[in-house]
Amino acid sequence: MKRLLAISAAAGLTLLTACTAGTENAAPKIEKSGATHEPVTIEFWHGFSADNELKAFEDTLAGFKQKYPWITVKPTKAVQDTQILSSVRGGSPPDVALSFTTDSVAQFCKAGIFQDLNPYLKASGIDAAALFPKVIAEYTQYDGKRCVLPMLADTYGLYYNKKLMKGEQPPKTLSELADLTKKLTVRNADGTIKVAGFVPTSQMYENAPIHSGVMVGAKWTNPDGTSAIGSDPQWKKLMTWQKDLTDWFGYDKLEKFRKGFGDEWSAENPFNQGKVAMAIDGEWRNAMLAADAPDVDYGTAPMPVADDQPQRYGAGFITGTIIGIPRGAKHPEAAWDLVRYLTTDTGALVGLANAIRNVPSTLPALQSPDLKKDANFQTFLDIFANPNSTTQPAHINAVFNQQTLQEAQIKWESGRAPDLDALLGQVDKTINDKLKLTAG
């Protein structure tokens, strides 16, 4: 109890005065190879938790140990952004941290939670522009700082069940998708849905606006960070299309159908089960179909695009796993060795990509002959390489902005908010107000 007392008293004194913990690290010293090394142990926090992913990741770390025998990596699994944030705040961050989402990149960079890696890249003689596909810069940099590097990427496309397609080709435009959906939908005798051609609502697993907006090339923000959602006509186009198709089903019927689905990540996923003919999903679905539903005969294609943008066909949404060195890391040099290995070593990236079926994130790894590909996986590699593919650019309120638009979308598709212009105007206001609150 005494200790607790002392702790509390100390808290009172330090809390209000010391609000930035940790120190900015000095310029990195990158040792020349051949120098002798002191053994060092670094802490590594990552988000992997599924067994197959953990196993694959351990193998990759074993490869690192072979190359850098003096560095011991102590991994901690299933870590998320909030934990990284509070550890840096508390002044005891790990040496290396990995995040599954790019949502916090702006925060990481702006508040200096992660160190700028540009000096490290320079010291190691790595030309990032030549190594990473261009789109990656958008989600690994903010404010001129490159505070994270990509370790594998995800892309989104259209999966279709060949049997349920009844010989039709995958749709290339939204009109085709709507027509095909109507054609392929099968209803039960009582009017409920048995098989849906495509579930258009934003609440369907991977239909969140962050993924579907790419179909029409819709913009999230203006260069100054304010919302572009109300002023970009593409959102309206997409949402009108979604609503029309939803109304064709009947929102209540569609919801009832959706609420009978099994879990997205389980074998009961409706695409695995043949309950939907077409679905938007990430490249990892290939691995899950192979594991959970090997009998499903499916194909993959890029997502359909707006009718008036045929030149954009082939584009998709790109995001990825990111990795960096938090401020206050105790062994930044060894940490950089690990980051460099995981983000630039072709062998490591290809091995991991093959194991968990993600898209490798460097140009050499993408071209590596060791990369396992089949037609269905190749689709996603092509989407990744497509110059029209986009990502969610780093934004200080990335999560909040997504939530706001998604809530508005649910209101709209359910018919509970009939005036789309007013609704999107409200979205703009909410996002802009929040921007003022958090960034001034």
Partner 1 sequence: MASTALGRRGRTAPPSPVGGRRRANLRALLYLSPWLVGFAVFFLYPLGSTVYFSFQRYNMFTLEPVGLLNYRYFLQDEAAWTAIRNTLWLVVVMVPLRVLFGLGVAQLITKIKAGAGVFRTIFYLPSLVPLVAGTLGFVFLLNPATGPLQTILSAVGLDSPDWFGDPAWSKWGLTMLAMWSVGDLMVIFMAALLDVPKQLYEAASIDGAGAWQQFVSITLPVIRPVLMFAAVTGVIQTLQYFTQAEVVARAASGATDSAGSVFTPGYPDQSTLTFPQWLFQQGFRDFAMGYACVLALVLFVVSMLFTAVLLRQFRGFAEEEA
Partner 2 sequence: MTTTLARPRQAATRPAPRAPRGRTTLYWIAKHALAIALAVMFLGPLVFIALTALMSDQQALTSQLWPKTWNWGNFAEIFETAPLLTWIRNTLIYSILATVFMLVSSIPVAYALARFRFRGRKLAFLLVVTTMMLPPQVVAVPIYLIWARFHLTGTLWPLILPMLLGDAFSIFLLRQFLVTIPREYSDAARVDGCGEFRTLIRVIVPMARPAIAAVALFQFFYCWNDYYGPLMYAGTDLDNWTLSLGLAAFRSVHRVQWNLTMAATILAMAPVIVVFFFAQKVFIEGVKLTGVK
When asked if residue 80 is in the footprint of partner 2 (CB under 8 A), the reply is yes
Q: What is the DSSP string of 378-408?
A: HHHHHHHH-TT-B-----TTHHHHHHHHHHH
- By CB under 8 A, the residues from 377 to 406 that bind partner 1 are 397, 399-400, 402-403, 406
Q: What is the 3-state secondary structure (H, E, C) of 315-366?
A: CCEEEEEEEECECCCCCHHHHHHHHHHHHHCHHHHHHHHHHHCCECCCHHHH
- CA dist 14 and 23 (Å) reads 16
Binding residue for partner 2, selected from 224, 263, 295, 421, defined by CB under 8 A: 263
Q: Residue 264, Cα to own-chain centre: how many angstroms?
A: 16
For 406, phi and psi rounded to 5 degrees?
Answer: -65, -40
Binding residue for partner 2, selected from 132, 156, 198, 261, defined by CB under 8 A: 261
Q: Give least dist CB 173 to partner 2, A.
A: 33
Q: Which stretch binds partner 1 (CB under 8 A): 55-63, 198-206, 214-222, 307-315?
A: 198-206
When asked if residue 78 is in the footprint of partner 2 (CB under 8 A), the reply is yes
Alpha-carbon distances of 412 from 168, 180, 185, 249, 420, rounded to whole Å: 31, 23, 23, 15, 7
Q: Which contiguous run of DSSP H or E holds residue 186?
A: strand 186-187
| 64 vs 108, beta carbon nearer partner 1 | 108
Nearest to 213 by CA among 203, 222, 224, 202: 202
- By CB under 8 A, the residues from 23 to 62 that bind partner 2 are 49
When asked if residue 79 is in the footprint of partner 2 (CB under 8 A), the reply is yes
- CA dist 319 and 103 (Å) reads 10
When asked if residue 19 is in the footprint of partner 1 (CB under 8 A), the reply is yes
When asked if residue 83 is in the footprint of partner 2 (CB under 8 A), the reply is yes
Residue holding tokens 């609440």? 203
Binding residue for partner 2, selected from 268, 382, 407, 428, defined by CB under 8 A: 268
Q: Give least dist CB 275 to partner 2, A.
A: 10
How many other CB atoms are there within 10 angstroms of residue 415's CB atom? 12
When asked if residue 233 is in the footprint of partner 1 (CB under 8 A), the reply is no
Query: Residues binding partner 1: what is the number (CB under 8 A)?
Result: 57
Which two tokens mark 382?
């092509």
Interface with partner 2 (CB under 8 A): 1, 4, 7-8, 11, 14-15, 49, 76-80, 82-83, 86-87, 89-90, 92, 260-263, 265-268
Interface with partner 1 (CB under 8 A): 1, 5, 8, 12, 15-16, 19-20, 82, 85-86, 88-89, 100-101, 103, 107, 111-113, 154, 203, 205-206, 208, 210-211, 252, 255-261, 263-265, 319, 397, 399-400, 402-403, 406-407, 410-411, 414, 416, 426, 430, 433, 436-438, 440
